[in-house]
Amino acid sequence: MSPGEIMYHITINNGNNSCDIYILGTAHVSEDSIRKVEEVINEIDPDLIAVELDSERFLALINEEDNNLKNVNIWKVLKSGDIGLFLFHTILASFQKEIGEKFNIKPGSEMKRAVELAKLYKKPLYLIDRPIDITLRRALGSMPLKEKLKLFYQLFEGGDIKELDKKSIREMINNAQELVEILKDLSPTLYRVFVDERDKYMAKNIFDTSIGRKKILVVVGAGHVKGIVDYLKKLERGEIEIDLNELTEVKRGRNYLKIAFSVVLIGIILYGIFSLSSNLEMLKKLTIDWILINGTLSALGVILARGKLPSVISAFLVAPITSLIPVIGAGYIVGLVELKCRGITPEDIHHLFKCDRLRELMDNNLMRVLMVAAFSSLGSAIGTFYFIPKFLGL
């Protein structure tokens, strides 16, 4: 095996038969990895080829869909509430795309070559990786706020892609485990979900599909080789059981604090209305003040964020209503209006994490939408808290 590649051979007994498993560690943006895939398949002549893909990424590769998400309907993404998921996916895709453009190679080309050769040589192909959307949802759902902020900071402070060259890529493959340890220190949650859990998932799939097979070639990213080998050995010895259903479960937690606040706020407002029910003039004045102050403060937030006029108007109109149900929030609706006005593209998201100066960052369309959403919510929140003592008769 030449420098710059990882190849591991392990023979396991799955309880039914012994099977030789060859695990080739690659870089997803390396011509060397493509050549190595071709060489190894010809040398080994495996019974089955397993690749680090799920059905979604497999279809994207064979259909040659652009991985930079240009055709994604961002309006639909934000409306569905999957904003964080989309941002996360786009950041990862943009990072790989930028490296790929530097070396004039599409990310995942070595996987595509393995797929092509499996078809050419009439070899069974097995997709062993967990669906990417499940991985992203599990990561975002379990990552603490402190860790998210730390990761966000590292994205802005990260190294320059321009510093990478082919020698650097080879060194990254050779020192894949060191890079995994760096990720573990930077974000324990990302390490657990993106590396360890997927190592388990792929090892279990490899172990199960080895039944009745004599020789399997597995093509995965270099950072997964050690983990997969370790879990294969543990499965063989019966030290662990891996439940794939558990590894694909996505827990959707509820923000009980927001719900509790909503209930308390509605209670305070109802108390205020009941207290003033005998004084209709005072109740009318309080209602008008509520609409004007809450709406004006929310609209002012949009103006400060340099939002579009339709966003200013929508903030004034919706803030007095959404303040009564904080689970929704004015920022969500106003943000969607601003998004509609600006027509955000994935390139705006990509450039957001490449801004070097504050002015450049503030001029980014996506950042402007986020600021409009945040400032409109802040203005509405200030107006709401201003009125709480009034509703309580203080």
Residues 136 and 285 in one domain: no
For the chain, the first-to-last Cα distance in angstroms comes to: 79
- The reported pLDDT for the residue numbered 216 is 97
Q: What is the pTM assigned to this prediction? A: 0.68
Residues 175 and 45 in one domain: yes
Residues 100 and 180 in one domain: yes
Residues 232 and 360 in one domain: no
- SS3 for the chain, per residue? CCCCCEEEEEEEECCCCEEEEEEEEECCCCHHHHHHHHHHHHHHCCCEEEECCCHHHHHHHHCCCCCCCCCCCHHHHHHHCCHHHHHHHHHHHHHHHHHHHHCCCCCCHHHHHHHHHHHHCCCCEEECCCCHHHHHHHHHHHCCHHHHHHHHHHHHHCCCHHHCCHHHHHHHHHCHHHHHHHHHHHCHHHHHHHHHHHHHHHHHHHHHHCCCCCEEEEEEEHHHHHHHHHHHHHHHHCCCCCCHHHHCCCCCCCCHHHHHHHHHHHHHHHHHHHHCCCCHHHHHHHHHHHHHHHHHHHHHHHHHCCCCHHHHHHHHHHHHHHCCCCCCCHHHHHHHHHHHHHCCCHHHHHHHCCCCCHHHHHCCHHHHHHHHHHHHHHHHHHHHHHHHHHHCCC
- The reported pLDDT for the residue numbered 128 is 97
Alpha-carbon separation of residue 81 from 78, 86, 87, 349, 381 (angstroms): 5, 10, 12, 17, 21
Residue 341 · residue 310 · CB < 8 Å: yes
Q: Return the closest-CA partner of residue 308 out of 354, 376, 250.
A: 376
- The reported pLDDT for the residue numbered 211 is 95
Residues 193 and 266 in one domain: no
Domains contained in the chain, number:
2
192, 217, 247: which is the final residue of a domain?
A: 247
217, 247, 277: which is the final residue of a domain?
A: 247
Residues 313 and 384 in one domain: yes
Residue type, 307: G
Using 50 as the pLDDT threshold, list the residues of the chain that sit under it. 1-4, 67-70, 161-162, 164-165, 168-169, 172-173, 175
Residues 240 and 265 in one domain: no
Residues 202 and 280 in one domain: no
Per the domain annotation, does 193 fall within a domain?
yes
- The reported pLDDT for the residue numbered 75 is 59
247, 282, 314: which is the final residue of a domain?
A: 247
Residues 21 and 74 in one domain: yes
- The reported pLDDT for the residue numbered 281 is 79
Residues 260 and 327 in one domain: yes
Residues 95 and 144 in one domain: yes
The chain-wide mean pLDDT, for the chain, equals 78
Per the domain annotation, does 1 fall within a domain?
no
What domain range is 122 assigned to?
A: 6-156+164-247
